[in-house]
Chain A
Amino acid sequence: MTLDPITPAFSPVDLAIPVFVVTILLEIILARLGKVRAVYEVKDTATSLGMGLGSSIAGAITGGVIFAASLWVYKYHLFDIPMTAWWAWVAVFFLEDLTYYWFHRLSHERRFWWASHVNHHTSQHYNLATALRQTWTGGLAGTWLLWLPLVFLGFPPAMVVIQKGISLVYQYWIHTEAVRRMPRWFEAVFNTPSHHRVHHARNPRYLDANYAGILIIWDRMFGSYIPEDDAEACRYGIVHNLGDFNIFRVAFHEWMAIGKDLAGSRSIREVIGYLFGPPGWSPDGSRDTSATLKAKWRARMATVSPAASEETIPLQAAE
């Protein structure tokens, strides 16, 4: 069997589109019948799905540049990794997932990349349609550069593209409240609806956690894992939720906010802080970042119940 190392033999995402449509309809219908938990607000759903549609257009526009860059890097690859070897697929599975973890963490913890990723978190709902609320500006933000080292190592560009697609398709099904918990062994190794609900929550205790793509092991390894606590329901969205359903606001609001801040900057330090500081960074500390929100939350918990707060505050939150 031969596989073209340059052009992907198939697109996992394209193949999954009919599954996306059928499962979203199924989630809505089963929720209507009271069989599963799911909340769909019409305008919110239209916004999520419209963002998904727009994302595929934006991806087509920037895809050529990304593809050309991959080809250029592949010319200088270190090792010849055959696409037909089973071990190569195992290796790319783990390495791509590790790359995704760091891409995702960067996309939450540094504002320049958050500006591109934030739209995925702007829904105050958590359902399968939310999974399709994808970025329009990912190509411009340049996070795709993070995958080029895999190509430089020798993984054929087509292999990396296919594995990225598999990861995206995997992450689709975890955007649901219909599944409470998977079996314990599964929750220990894989990213699940429960883990990802935490990731989409705006409760201070849950901020900046569970960046996993397919494997939750990376969060456990790098200290960003927070389990879902049944005593504190996830409240979805972003710290400062959007004021309307305007799809262009969803796509560009954080870029506009960055532009506004940069226009008022008075030094290089402020420019760098506004661009690459954590979301919420400000020169005088008057705005909240995830860290300050968590600190305030910990202080409130300590006031309410000092003993209880020590037990329930996740270790990684106590940085």
Chain B
Amino acid sequence: MARVTLDRVNKIYGYGPSAVHAVEDLSLEIEDGEFAAILGPSGCGKTSTLRMIVGLEEITSGTVAFDGEPMNARAPEQRNVAMAFESYALYPNFNVAQNLAFPLEVKGVDASERQRRVERIAGLLQIGELMGRRPRELSGGQQQRVSLGRALIREPAVFILDEVLSHLDAHLKFQMLFELKRIHQELERTMVYVTHDQMEALALADRVAVMSNARLQQFGDRDALYDRPANRFVADFIGEPPTNFLDATVVHDGGAPLLHVLGSDLRFAVDGERAAAIEAAQLDRVTLGIRPQNLTWNTDGDTAVVGATVDFNEYLGEHTILTLRDGGALFRAIVPPNVDAGEGARVELHYRTRNVMVFHPETDEFLG
């Protein structure tokens, strides 16, 4: 059980002109017992961050602390962390039971106690019938569970899971997501989960740290990431299909400002909160963002309306993605599967003014 604190952590690989700044001024506080995810595209520094938490990578500057106690100088085995690796990293010369027991064996736990805990973990992960097999005789999903079991058996303060589901097929991944969640609830320990898959991160974690270009972009729960993204990157990265971004000029038509999308006749209204933010920033141009899910076909009355021509109609079974055009502006909307909107049709879509996000045109920061 531990609270994990990262304070202005930096990681620089190499020296001189070839140096790579992999993690830049990262500060993060993961609560005791929390399930946190670090999410970001490949090469954003998330794995470096995690390796610094575990102690496999030296920290260039800054502090990693567990429960306020700095860990920088401690080797991985002194930190009481357990890690499940992306490549599983099972010991090929041991069978499953020996793999699970190895962390206990090196600590000198006696054989009967080892046996008891191996059986408990095997029951938890439903791998009891695999005990005598070698890693190469297991399927990917089974190896995955064994590697998870080897991390869990030590009952450490912090669990680190590095892209552990990335090699599983969709069906198995879904099942493992559920099991991970169940294991976390059962053990009530701090878990840090690293992934590039937003679905995994949002499904599992209490809070998600979104990283990009070596920097932490935002650390928050899914509502915060979804509705109040810190910047354009987060808004773009979270959500499928990605958020529509449109450059717009701010037009003061009497009272509330109206956003005119450049190169088209699209007009978006904003609610009072956003209007105030735009006023405060004193901008006459902004980047407007609206999620495809928030442009709806039907309306319950409390919405504004925007019209455009259908460019593409992608029928995906559960829903249809419309790619729409008005002048030079292109954007997408998710509509029910049965709508009558062929290519070239003129359609009207509805949105709530509070779902219009406004970003600074240069810094890409979220204004409101």
**Real binding pair:** no
The interface of chain A, by Cβ under 8 A from chain B, is: none
